Amino acid sequence: MTRPAGSATGLDSGALASAFAEAFQRAPEGVWHAPGRINLIGEHTDYNDGLVLPFALPQGVSVAGSRRDDGVIEVRSLQTGGTLVTAPVAGGPVAAEGRPSDRAWAAYPVGVARVLREHGTGGASLLIDSDLPQGAGLSSSAALECATALALCDLHGVEIERPALARLAQRAENEQAGMPCGPMDQSASLLCTAGHALLLDCRSGLSTQVPFAPAEAGLTLLAVDTRAGHTLTGGEYGRRRAECERAASLLGVAALRDVKDLAGALGSLRDPVLRRRVQHVVTENHRVEAAAGLLRAGAPAELGAMLNASHLSLRDQFEISWPEADAAVDAALRAGARGGRMIGGGFGGSVIVLTATDRAPRVRDAITTAYAARGWTPPNFLEARPSPGAHRTR
Ligand code: GAF
């Protein structure tokens, strides 16, 4: 009972339901799917109360589930051989029948069950499947949280509006998995729609759907998995967040979103590190507004310059890029791509590249060749198409 994450076969809810019946000796009551995401632009702006512009991928996490009324959550994953992890929803030890490392991935569904319990959900049996490459920075943990959240709400007849559900899934990740993320990934998974990017104001929680159909404009958006390890529970993400909060406090604003006079703010901060962080966050927020404007104006090809500026800012001001990301962006631009940038938390994961579709093969080859010349693991490519947000599939 194993299927490697990222296997190209896609997810089949009928097969997952059958696997559930085999594993738990009863039919599931339903199957729910939540996608991973690409963030077009707006990196490290979400926890600064700023703007982000993600879209949902076709790939994601599916969960087959049935309700339990004894306050226990039991989960199996096809990506870890289907071994059982159980935990009381009310809190207490998590028991893993397989490797102790199973407790790490199970922290996400168990965490969601514990947070949602306050809103009336309870126990469940869940079988999880994923076609998102793990560690690629495409938000596999948020997809797992959101698919679990939808399943638990439906199984226990609890209705929670999606923006609020996204915040609860974020809380589960913050409190139960120990990752101080902002609200972007969970909101993208639950709120995105096909053919659109989601312009989300992370302060108000208000969002708008902005049309984004690259293929119709003769464009391809490639997600390049740089195959460089990616873990965000390490300290760097939290350190960046703390630096932003410290800068906001020194500047006397609630969040860096509120900095209106960038030159004045930079002039008043003594610490050069904090100056660089502020410069990134404030300019990135402006880039999100500009990018959304370009999409609304029907000029998606013009996004390239914005992606490039974002990458340079993340590399030089926020200092979270990594060699494989810089090499991929560089090779793509040399091969004639319109733009590219690292995405996600940083220090590993994926890069996106926007290119004219007829140039895409040349761009892929150029990146692969650049990696081979350095003796790096070959990158993986995925064509990113704006896809539906989380939904019940069965
Ligand atoms: C990760 C986090 F989970 C998001 O909340 C966001 O901060 C992102 O990094 C950076 O933009 O994906």
Q: Is residue 135 lining ligand 1, measured as CB closer than 6 Å?
A: no
- Rounded to the nearest whole angstrom, what is the distance from the C-alpha of residue 22 to the centroid of ligand 1? 36
Report yes or no on 223 lying in a domain: yes
State the ipTM, two decimals.
0.99
Report yes or no on 173 lying in a domain: yes
What per-residue confidence (pLDDT) applies to 2? 63
- Rounded to the nearest whole angstrom, what is the distance from the C-alpha of residue 141 to the centroid of ligand 1? 11
Percent helix, percent strand, percent coil in the chain, to nearest 5: 45, 20, 35
- 295-344: per-residue pLDDT in tens? 999 999 999 999 999 999 999 999 999 999 999 999 999 999 999 999 99
Domain that holds residue 220: 214-383
Same domain, 186 and 110: yes
- Rounded to the nearest whole angstrom, what is the distance from the C-alpha of residue 342 to the centroid of ligand 1? 12
Count of Cβ atoms closer than 10 Å to residue 106 Cβ = 27
What per-residue confidence (pLDDT) applies to 10? 73
Report yes or no on 3 lying in a domain: no
Using CA atoms, how far apart are residues 336 and 363, in angstroms rounded to an integer? 7
Same domain, 146 and 268: no
Q: Which residues of the chain have pLDDT under 70?
A: 1-9, 230-234
Structure tokens at 262: 């960038």
Report yes or no on 1 lying in a domain: no
Q: How far is CA 369 from CA 165, 339, 342, 363, in A?
A: 43, 18, 19, 10
Helix, coil or strand: residue 23: helix
Closest CA to 259 of 235, 284, 236: 284
Same domain, 201 and 305: no
What per-residue confidence (pLDDT) applies to 134? 81
Q: Is residue 38 lining ligand 1, measured as CB closer than 6 Å?
A: no
Q: Output DSSP code: residue 349.
A: S
Q: Is residue 284 lining ligand 1, measured as CB closer than 6 Å?
A: no
Catalytic residue from among 129, 185, 261, 271? 185
Same domain, 63 and 179: yes
Our count of domains for the chain comes to 2
What per-residue confidence (pLDDT) applies to 5? 61
Same domain, 271 and 159: no
Q: How far is CA 123 from CA 75, 106, 110, in A?
A: 10, 14, 10
- Is 46 assigned a catalytic role? no
Give the CATH number for residue 308: 3.30.70.890
What per-residue confidence (pLDDT) applies to 99? 83
- Rounded to the nearest whole angstrom, what is the distance from the C-alpha of residue 14 to the centroid of ligand 1? 32
Same domain, 198 and 273: no
What per-residue confidence (pLDDT) applies to 229? 73
Ligand 1 atom at shortest distance from the alpha carbon of 232? 1
Angle at 349 between CA 168 and CA 85, to 5 degrees: 50
Same domain, 68 and 150: yes
Q: Is residue 240 lining ligand 1, measured as CB closer than 6 Å?
A: no
